[in-house]
Amino acid sequence: MPPVTKGLEGIVAAETAMSFIDGEKGVLEYVGIEIDALARHSTFEETVFLLWNRRLPLKAELDSFCADIRSRYELPPGMEQRLTALPKAAEPMHMLRTMVSALSLHDPRPNDNDVESARQKSLNVLGHAPTLVAYFDRYRRGLPIVHPDKSMSMAENFLYMLNGERPTPTMARALDACLILHADHGLNNSTFAARVVISTLSDVYSALTAAIGSLRGPLHGGANEGVMKMLNEIPTVEAAERYVLERLEKKDKIMGFGHRVYKAYDPRATYLKTLAKKLAEDTGNAALYEKSSRIEQVMGKAVAAKGIYPNVDFYSATTYHCIGLRLDLFTPLFALSRIGGWAGHIIEQLADNRLYRPEASYVGPHGVRYVPVGER
């Protein structure tokens, strides 16, 4: 048996043309385009087209792709009733995992998994998922459901359904950038889960459900919630330095810093930091941004030399708070974005499939005699 690599670290298990990462240099590219350029100039819809087709769209293609997604904003008949039958105390990520799985019940051919069918099913989930999250949040707060507006982009429409009013351009742009930044990131845990499931020639809904279950874990998509909880624990900007130094002295982790891949500044955090500052100023949350900035300054002096820098979760927490998201919606929003990447990997896997079947190194005993129950 070859040596065991726990967590599969360093093991190459797939080829992809979607995203490239150089953790030492702090580089992330989608199909060769730097993530910072996409965050500043693209849209989430265009980014999804890029990931799925390995090229930027022509204007007519982008218009058609956006129209196709918008035509799927409305939930299938019966889904709203199914959603409002859920307990209001349910966690949004559990709701999303369950309801994405339930979408398969409204698909007349849920098991078709040729590449074109996978695209269509992925578009269904991409269009429906923001509606599910917004509807559930309104329902659990006792507010009337706000139905989608097909004249709006995905980012605008989600905030409109969530808050009941059209978002400001700054808020919509901030959310759109966050969706772009989180759309894909190599063969991360949830993406691997999606590829493993679809490699069995299961269905798209099962693969995406598995990915959502993976993302829910606090070691994966739940990290941005931890950042916000940390910021809420620090009473003032002035208290930030003492808080950080005390945690470091105890060897406690500072949420939002360090990444398994990046040994340089997370390239997704660069533009997000600028965006978070403007959004905080526009929404009366300047003190929250200043608190974040102070934490980064202290951490820079203490651990930057060890290759520990802010990751995408650090400033996304401030951004999500400023656009009005409740804490337990942070990870669902991450999922809404990553559906674009997961689906791209599902399509990529189906185009050149090989069943995932790794081996395990047995470390148990051998030759153990079976003892009848009466002799035990």
Catalytic residues: 259, 313
| CB-based contact 346:194 (threshold 8 Å) | yes
Residue 154 in tokens: 């995905």
**In sequence order, what E strands does 203-316 have?**
none
In this structure, the dihedral spanned by the alpha carbons of residues 103, 89, 210 and 203, taken in order and rounded to 10 degrees, is -10
CA angle 365, 367, 372 (to 5 degrees): 105
| CB-based contact 169:277 (threshold 8 Å) | no
User: Bridge-partner residues for 20, per DSSP?
Assistant: 29
Q: Of 310, 172, 178, 338, which Cα lies nearest the Cα of 231?
A: 310
Neighbours of 200 (CB within 10 A): 14
| CB-based contact 256:226 (threshold 8 Å) | yes
Q: Of 299, 242, 311, which Cα lies nearest the Cα of 270?
A: 311
DSSP label at residue 305: G
Q: Of 235, 197, 229, which Cα lies nearest the Cα of 320?
A: 229
What is the amino acid identity at position 114?
Answer: D
